[in-house]
Structure formats: C-alpha cells, structure tokens
Chain A
Amino acid sequence: MSETIALPRLEEDVQPRLAVRRVLGVARDAWPRILMPLIIGIASLGAWEIAVVVNDVPPWIVPAPSVILATLLRDWHTLSVSLWITLQITFAALAVAAGLGLLLAILFAQSKWIELSLFPYAVILQVTPIVAIAPLIIIWVNNVKLALLICAWIVAFFPILSNTTLGLNSADHNLRDLFRLYRASRVQELFLLRLPAALPLFLAGLRISGGLALIGAIVAEFVAGTGGQASGLAYRILESGYQLQIPRMFAALFLICVTGIVIFLVLGLIQHLLLRHWHESAIRREG
C-alpha cells in the first residue's frame, strides 16, 4: 500500500526554519519592532528636555528627563524597596487570581447549576469600583499587605475566570463525542481535552490580569494612604507629592510604567512559548 502514496514533503512546516537571518542574536525582521518605538521614545524625551530647559520650567512643575533619571539613581535605595513591595503584591495577587480563577472556572464547567448560581456574584465583584471597597477591606483586614493583595486580586481575577470558563466550554464538540465514545472519565476529559482547549483563552486572560493586578495594587495603596508598613510605589508617589519632590514622583511613575511593560512582555512570552506549536495566534504567517 505504501507505494501508492506519494506524500507531499512537509519538512519546511514540520522542522523549525534554520535560515532566519540574525543580527546581534535577534531575527532581522524583528529589529524594526524594537527600534521604532525606541526612536520615538528617545525623540520625545529629547523634545521634553529641550522644552523644559528653553522655557526654564521649574522642576516642581515639570522636571526634565535628566533630572528624573538623576533622582531615580540618587533615590534608588528607597525606590527599589518600594518597587519590590509593589512587585510582591502584584505577583501574589496575580498568582492567587490565576489559581482561584482557574479553579472556579473548572467548578463552573462541572455543572451548569454552579455556574448559574455563582457567576452573577463574580460579575458583581468585577463591576464594584475597587476604590469604593478598598477602605472597607483595609479596615477589616489588619495586615496592610494582605489587604492590598485582596484588592489587587479582586481587580485581577475576573478576566481569568470569565476567559477560562469560556475556554473550558468551547472544546470541539466532536472531540467531546470522541471522548465519550472511548468512555473517558470526567477527569480525563478535563485534563486531556477541556484544559488544553482553554489554555489560549486562559493565557489571554492572564495577560489582561497582569496589568490589572499592578493597577489594583497601586490604587489600593493610594486608598490605604500613608498608614502602612507596606510602603510601595504608590506610597512613594503620595509622599513625594506632600513634600513637593516632583522629580521623585516622576521616577516612581516611571518605575510603575516599566513594571507594567515588563509584566506584559513576560506574559506574552509565556503565551508564545506555550502555544507556538499549535495555536493560530502564535504562528507566524508567511508573506
């Protein structure tokens, strides 16, 4: 029978392409994506610097980028401690959101009744403004760090829950029939079919939640004010505002932005690594 089959050659698709031209270790056609935003960024900072110097704007109104950088380096010690605290809260909140979101989504997928009865409450949690409930949580929970974590978690958890629930329910119906046909147990169906099918949507939810966890951590700390031992970046911004240390405020703001970007990129990388073999979103198209 084998001689009747002339299979098309698929090596190009199956094996990783080796012929990607690299410049300094990065694929050549990836350079514009790195360089263009960088050029725009440097140009805007340059314009900002010139505008501040030429118009003689005082630093307590708008500090020049060079002053912000100098402040960042000078105050690195205090700022890095704050950054570390904010990072801890953000990642703890994201981890709990991912874990609980996933577990709850699995629970929802087990029974329509559970989903019907609990989902509205998840929505309520999502639509309640975090600034409005943060003071309550801070009153109820003695440990400030834990209170901030809960706030950040509330903000971060819904995208993961709703995306994963959708993903678990969107497994191919024929595949589900196939699993039934071979008498798969519920556990087998969950681990071999539903969870892999939900992975792309879970990761998309995680990417949204990464940014939200950071925002939640910062907002909650603003609400908590200066009352805590947990003095993250938001606390530094408040403190700098009271002391009219505007360059330090900008330096803290800069750190928050960089953190957000790094979280986004890291989660994107995880998404790419996990999906690159099979999901349409992670596959580069030719031409």
Chain B
Amino acid sequence: MAKRFTDGTLALSGVDLDVGQGEFLSLLGPSGCGKSTLLRILSGLIEPSAGSLDWLTAAQQTRGAAQPKLGFVFQEPTLMPWATALANVALPLRLAGMSRSEREDRAASALARVGLAGFETAYPRALSGGMKMRVSIARALVTCPDILLMDEPFAALDEITRFRLNNDLLSIWQEARFTVVFVTHSVFESVYLSERVVVMAARPGRVVREIAIEIPYPRDETFRTSAEYASLCRTVSLGLGEAIAA
C-alpha cells in the first residue's frame, strides 16, 4: 500500500509518505503542523487540494479510489451520549445495515477486547475518561478495519491511564496486525508505540524526518525503562527540536 499527495494550501505542502501494510506509524509534530489534516485526508473526510492518495491492496494492484476499511479514533471519545456503550460500538455495523443480533454480538466482543466486558449497558456519562476512550477504540475496531487512524487519542488522559491504554493498544495491534497511523505530540508515546516515527514541521505542514524504531514487539514496561528507549526518545526529541526550529 502506498499513498502520496501534495497539498497546495499552507496546511500541508509537498508531503510524500508511504505507509506499509500492517505498519504502526506515528505522526509527530508541533501543533499546526498539519498532522491531523493529513489524517483526515487519509480518512477521506477532506480532499487534498493537490496530489493524490493511492491505495494499493494485495488483491487489486490498481490505483485509485478502492478505499480499504477504516477505523477512526478522535481526540475526544466522540460517543453518542444517548446510547449505551454497546450501541455506540455497534454504530458502524448498524450504519452498514447489519442485523441487530449480529451487530450486538460483534460489538460485545469488541468491548471485551478493550477490557470492557460487563459495561455493555452503561451510558457514556457513567464511564471514566479512559473507559470512554476504550469504547471509542472498540467502535473503531468493530468493523475489523485494515487501517486504524488515531488522532491524538490519549492526549486528554492522565499518564497512568495513557500507559495502560498504550499497552492494550499494542497487544490488540499485535493480534490483528492492521495498519495504524497514530497522530501524537508526545515523543515518548510515539517511540514506545510505533515502528516508524514521522516528524513533521509547521508552516507549511511538511515531513522533515523519518526515524525507524527497530525494537521488536512485544514492548512492555521493561522497554519503557530501558536505556535504548531513552536514547531513541533523545534522537526523536532532537528531530522534533529541529522541526520546530525549521
């Protein structure tokens, strides 16, 4: 799978990026560098004003609009407050016209996958911030997406919850091996999670560096406290510093 586009406006300029199938990629950069814009273009919510987005799937080596199945996790949990956790997770299936019993089964197992079994009938307001985000992730996973797009999903959470969600996200990803494009402004999060960190700079939004994180999975707390992790974070931090100065 490859994609490429260039955007004539100031939001993004001359961005050329390939994302491999099954890859965990982080987009890292200061605010205003267009990383969320890039993600929204990937999702098809907005069109690039110049350039194009190509999906190459193994089944069909044709370029163009054959969009793979997407899951999107927003910065806020973005749940429907009037619906239970189960109904929220089942929403993408309901929109696709799946029967009630089937979509509820699948939604329940998606909830169990993010560790929320037993909370099917809870309304979002009764859930903590981290649990709402879990519901949001379950909703993105329920369609078994080829690509999971995440827009600073854990930015509003406390560090303890964030670490726990990082670990859970990694173990889900290792099981299913979908592609993840993860937008963040945390150096530590990007290094901990991804195989490749793409550093972006602002005005105009552009890619300035790509740093591979060649540490095998599973990664856990041992990795988080290792010297290797610290030195990678240092490298990425320096890259980000250059991007901000650039």
Contact = CB atoms under 8 A, between A and B. Distances in A.
B82 A178 contact: no
Given A174-B78, A182-B96, A193-B80, A14 B168 contact: no
Contact residue range for chain A?
A: 20 to 34
Interface in A13-31: 13-14
Contacts of A32: none
A2 interface: yes
B81 A279 contact: yes
A174 B74 contact: yes
Nearest to B174: A1
A7 B125 CA distance: 16
Contacts of B76: 174
B82 A182 contact: no
Contacts of A4: 164, 167-168
A118 B74 CA distance: 36
Nearest to A277: B123
Contacts, number: 75
Contact of A172 (B72, B78, B115): B78
A193 B82 CA distance: 10
B72 A178 contact: yes
Contacts of A5: 115, 164, 168
A122 interface: no
Nearest to A178: B78
Contact of B121 (A14, A181, A192): A14
Interface in B127-174: 127-128, 131, 143, 164, 167-168, 171-172
A174 B76 CA distance: 9
Contacts of B168: 1, 4-5
A8 B123 CA distance: 15
Contacts of B124: 278
Contact of B122 (A14, A172, A178, A184): A14
Most buried by B among A175, A179, A199, A279: A175
A199 B78 contact: no
B125 A177 contact: no
A181 B119 contact: no
A183 interface: yes
Contact of A183 (B94, B95, B164): B95
B78 A196 contact: no
Nearest to B94: A192
A179 B88 CA distance: 12
Contacts of A283: 125
Contacts of B17: none
Contacts of A7: 115-116, 131
A74 interface: no
Contacts of A178: 72, 74, 78, 91
B8 interface: no
B81 A278 contact: yes
A10 interface: yes
A186 interface: no
Contact of A177 (B45, B94, B143): B45
Contacts of A174: 74, 76, 78
Nearest to B44: A181
5 contacts: A2-B115, A174-B76, A183-B95, A192-B80, A278-B82
Interface of A: 1-2, 4-5, 7-8, 10, 13-14, 172, 174-175, 177-184, 188, 192-193, 196-197, 199, 277-280, 283
Sorted nearest first, the 8 A-B pairs with minimum C-beta distance are A13-B126, A5-B115, A174-B78, A182-B95, A278-B81, A196-B82, A184-B95, A182-B92
Given A8-B128, A182-B95, A283-B125, 15 more contacts: A1-B168, A2-B115, A5-B115, A5-B168, A7-B116, A13-B122, A13-B126, A14-B121, A172-B78, A177-B74, A180-B45, A181-B70, A182-B92, A193-B80, A196-B80
